[in-house]
Amino acid sequence: MPRNSQIHTMSANSPHASLYEAFRDPVTHVDLQPVREGLANGSSTAFEFMDGDPGVVDFMAPSPASAADEANLKMYNDESSTEKYRNFLRWLFKTFEVDEDWFRADLLSRLAITDGMKVLVVGCGLGEDVALIQNDIGATGQVHAQDISKSMVKAARASIHAPNVCFSVSNALKLPYKSRYFDVVFHFGGINLFGDLKQAISELERVCKIGGRVVFGDEGIAPHLRGTEYADVLIHNNPLWALEAPMRELPSNADAVTLEYLLGNCFYLITFTPGEGFPKVNLDVPHVGARGGSARTRYYGRLEGVSVETKRKLLDAAQARGISMHDLLEQVIGAQLADAQPRSPQT
């Protein structure tokens, strides 16, 4: 790799210059700067343009591959992989008797893309969705498209050349993009094979803006079909259809969560909005009734149990006073604790 003396800053007039601001080093997490050979992390050209193309950045060379990565690369990175993948898609849409163009348009309508948005497509495959999204973002928007397979990216890049589209060859478990950069993050048809579902979903959430939109899906037959002959036949054909939608793997700040099933109810689609921590909740709204208290006091203020007779007497006493058990307990215990305080010695 080139050293400092060999680094040459790229011209600001490069058609992709504004898109490079999205990238960061997937290992060190530092921002990257465009140079003649690729993107530099301050000391060298750490990530080169694939085949010298400034529209494609290769992040895979310095990164070790996991067993899942190696399996995916073996499946999707040889000379025949693009044709095999295209054949699979033809079979898939014929099997479920769905027009592919209609399906893609319907699926992407869920992204709610508007002019000027920054959109990331994770696992872009042959780029069919990238081309459609490009039409929705307008001249001021950005599309970044990522895939671990150089063969897939080359095929996608061959048909898409635009100043507001940039590709990366990279690992979805360590996305080379800044946190909270994209308005929409989209993936469909591959996350089951990424090797670590929770980490993959975490990365989708990390690079999406708070209040943005994450949409992802893959094989997984809907629960109401499991155990039927329909499901048994399809799962025998493709074991991935036995997987369940990974709802438990969503981050705790996922808001406005939806789950639906597509293509014969054999693919799940999950949509959520990254929020600020847990959903907003007021734990201090008082309950009206005999028990009284609030969600906070009922959880954090739990005491040791008393006898059934004492509880009954407490309820009767609270009702006689026209207050809740919670309020009576506060009064009684508070008074007892006040009386139990040590008194200052008289002088």
Q: Which two tokens stand for residue 94?
A: 């014929």
Query: What pLDDT, on the 0 to 100 scale, is given for residue 168?
Result: 97
Average pLDDT over residues 105-116: 96
Residue 18 pLDDT level (bands cut at 50, 70, 90) = confident
What was the pLDDT predicted at 9? 46
Cα separation, 96 vs 120, whole angstroms: 28
Q: Is residue 344 pLDDT above 80, yes or no?
A: no
Q: What is the pLDDT of residue 68?
A: 66
Summarize pLDDT for 219-255 with one digit per residue, the tens: 999 999 999 999 999 999 999 999 999 999 999 999 9
pLDDT (tens digit, 9 = 90+) per residue, 134-185? 999 998 999 999 999 999 999 999 999 899 999 999 999 999 999 999 999 9
Contacts of 342 (CB under 8 A, 6+ apart): none
State the average pLDDT over residues 90-99: 96
Q: What is the pLDDT of residue 7?
A: 38
Q: Give Cα separations from 53 to 58, 111, 193, 194 (angstroms).
A: 10, 29, 28, 27
For 57, other C-beta atoms within 10 Å of its C-beta total 27
Output the pLDDT for position 70: 65
**What percent of the chain stands above pLDDT 90?**
77
Q: Residue 91: which of 243, 190, 234, 261 has the closest Cα?
A: 234
DSSP one-letter string for 89-110: HHHHHHHTT--HHHHHHHHHHT
Contact partners, residue 262, CB within 8 Å, separation at least 6: 103, 107, 217, 268, 269
pLDDT for residue 253: 97
- Residue 99, classified by CB atoms within 10 Å of its CB into exposed (0-12), middle (13-18) or buried (19+), is exposed
The confidence score (pLDDT) of residue 222 equals 98
